[in-house]
Amino acid sequence: MEHSLRAQLENAIRAIPDYPHEGIMFRDITTLLGDASAFRRSVDELVHPYSGSRINFVAGAEARGFILGGAMAHQLSCGFVPLRKKGKLPAETVSVTYELEYGTDEIEVHKDAFSKGDRVLFVDDLIATGGTAEASIKLLRELGADIVAACFVVDLPELGGRERIREMGVPVRTLIEFTGK
């Protein structure tokens, strides 16, 4: 009998208490990435609604979004665009600064990564407050991308990120929710 998706993901995602701060339950997908069946199924489930819908690029946030995004782009037969931390890309870039709970960060993309009107799926491993995803979507839109959806393996719904992204007019796809911090 086939494992339910929820059961498979719950078994594959490691929970680390009090990381990076006391009271936080960190959801670590590196164990999912090391589980061939769970990794494959996660990628399959993330891309399923978009198969055959003419996606030009998958854009992944550094670093786990690169792993998921590369696999998704392969399955969708499209290109992959890395969204990196400032100073990591060699050619001309466009960047966005965004707020974190402990300061600010900046992400960037090559200015010529795609063309205006290209249909793009954004992916990252997890959505919590939505800060990284919101900044990524703003960055992609600045270059003229049509954001088809934002995809995540894990949603922490109590932190409001999913709704924050929906309020930007972007559909959100997640595979599993974990409640609590």
Q: Among candidates 116, 147, 118, which has minimal Cα distance to 133? A: 147
Q: Which of 27, 41, 64, 173 is catalytic?
A: 64
Q: What region does 46 belong to: left with phi over 0, alpha with psi -120 to 50, or beta?
A: alpha
Q: Distance (Å, rounded) from C-alpha 150 to C-alpha 127? A: 10
Catalytic (active site) residue 141: no
Tokens of 37: 């069946």
Which distant-in-sequence residues (6+ apart) come within 8 Å of 179 by Cβ? 156, 157, 158
Catalytic (active site) residue 64: yes
Q: Which of 2, 22, 92, 101 is catalytic?
A: 101
Q: Pairing relation of β-strands 119-127 and 146-155? A: parallel
Instruction: Tell me: cis bond preceding 90? Omega within 30 of 0 counts.
Output: no
Q: Is 52 helix (H, G, I), strand (E, B) or coil?
A: coil
DSSP 92: -
Give catalytic residue positions: 64, 101
